[in-house]
Amino acid sequence: MSAPPEGLPAQMAVRIGSLQLASPLGLASGTCGWGAELEGMVDWSKVGALFTKGLSLQPRQGHPPPRIWETASGMLNAIGLENPGLEGFVADKLPFLRQLRREHGVVVLVNLFGTLAQEYAQLAAALDNLEGIDGVEINLSCPNVEAGGIEFGRSAATAFAVTQAVRRATRKFVAVKLSPAGPVLELAAAARAGGADALTMGNTMPGLAIDVRRRCSRLAAGSGGLSGPALRPINLRCVQQLFEAGSLPLIGGGGIATGDDALEFILAGAVALQVGTATFANPDAVGTIHAQLQTALGVDHLTACVGAASRPPPP
């Protein structure tokens, strides 16, 4: 996990399971569309991996507006997992992703969700036959219809079931994405048992904001997911907890906006990273962060820094 992959420029290259990334920085699911939206505004050579918007078997319309609201150093979103469905994805979105992969070496991971474990598996099976996709990322923050709408990610048993079903359906790389709402250690164990290659830590934290004049929630859907710098200490702590527990390779994220933020996640134990909300204000946030991270690393190899944070020395 921590030897720099062969044949790649050494300092920033990372290997995670079977994947080789030229840059540790990925674009987080739901914050980079299907890639094409960013064309011309991002330096693709700095994008190690692209995690697509969440994909379901059938197209989904998503929630009515307002869908987003800014909070203190963060934002809430309740987009409602709007997406074109498997068929629409293959017809309209995949061609550009193939081109990205071919021309820029961007690793493409499709973020999956469903309302039944079987739906995740069907999606993974369908994608398994397609060229131009390196793997999938399982989004567990979705209501499980068979469990009365409780999210897959709230129980180790369902997390295991989904991971195993996907693992059996695909030979490609499988990452499982956890929310800091946890219980992260149990879920991590379930994902490993289910055969995942890596964990993404992680998703947004449930949050709420209320318009006190109109006395209603700021989002049409009620609550939403908190992302951005406000989330960073929370996800960072989960990454370190997972790393110390000896988990699968970790893809870290949550509020990364600078090279120092990225390095914090690496020092806590992440091998690769996801940049989400920062892309909204700066479409080439990944390029900016890449340059800053390189400066912050100095002469060190990134892989030598993974999990290197200790307690502070006594004064």
Partner 1 sequence: MVAARRKQAAKVVRIIRLGDPEAGLGQVDLCASGLAVGVEAGRFAMLEAVGRPDCILKRPFSYFGTEGPDQISFLIKEMGAGSRGLLQARPGDAIEVLGPFGNTFPHLASGAVWGVAGGVGAAPFGLLADRCARVLLGTRRQAEAGFAAALQARGVVVDLATDDGSAGFAGSVLALLEKALQKAAQPPQALFACGPTGMLAATAALARAHTLPCYASLEERMGCGFGVCRGCAHRDVSGGWRCICVDGPVYDAAQIFAAPASA
Ligand X SMILES: Cc1cc2nc3c(=O)[nH]c(=O)nc-3n(C[C@H](O)[C@H](O)[C@H](O)COP(=O)(O)O)c2cc1C
Residues catalogued as catalytic? 142
Contacts with partner 1, residue ranges (CB under 8 A): 30-33, 37-38, 40-41, 53, 61-70, 73-75, 77, 79, 82, 228-229, 257, 277, 279-284, 315
User: x/- binding map, residues 93-112, to ligand X, per CB under 6 A?
Assistant: ------------------x-
Alpha-carbon distance of 228 to 232, in angstroms, equals: 7
- 275 touching ligand X, by CB under 6 A: yes
Beta-carbon contacts of residue 281 (< 8 Å; ≥ 6 apart): none
Please report, for residues 13, 54, 128, 214, the alpha-carbon distance to residue 254 in angstroms, rounded to integers and kept in the order given. 21, 17, 28, 31
Fill in the DSSP letter of residue 205.
E
What's the farthest any 2 CA atoms get from each other in the chain? Answer: 61
CB of 123 to a second copy, least distance (A): 29
Alpha-carbon distance of 90 to 133, in angstroms, equals: 11
Residues in the chain: 315
Which has the closest alpha carbon to 275: 52, 26, 46?
26
Fill in the DSSP letter of residue 68.
E
23, 217, 279, 303: residue in contact with a second copy (rule CB under 8 A): 217
Radius of gyration for the chain, computed over Cα atoms and rounded to the nearest angstrom: 18
User: x/- binding map, residues 143-162, to a second copy, per CB under 8 A?
Assistant: -----------x--------
Q: Which does 139 bind (CB under 5 to 8 A by kind): ligand X, partner 1, a second copy, none?
A: ligand X
Fill in the DSSP letter of residue 106.
-
Selected range binding ligand X among 10-18, 120-128, 159-167, 249-257, rule: CB under 6 A: 249-257
Please give the sequence-ordered ranges of beta strands (E in DSSP) within 113-191, or none if there are none. 135-139, 173-178
- 209 touching a second copy, by CB under 8 A: yes
66, 88, 195, 283: residue in contact with a second copy (rule CB under 8 A): 66
Fill in the DSSP letter of residue 117.
H
CB of 10 to ligand X, least distance (A): 26
Interface residue list for ligand X (CB under 6 A):
28-31, 53-54, 77, 79, 81, 111, 139, 177, 203-204, 227-228, 231, 253-256, 274-278
Interface residue list for a second copy (CB under 8 A):
64-66, 71-74, 76, 154, 181-183, 205-212, 214-223, 226, 228-234, 236-237, 240, 255, 260, 263-264, 267-268, 296, 305, 308-315
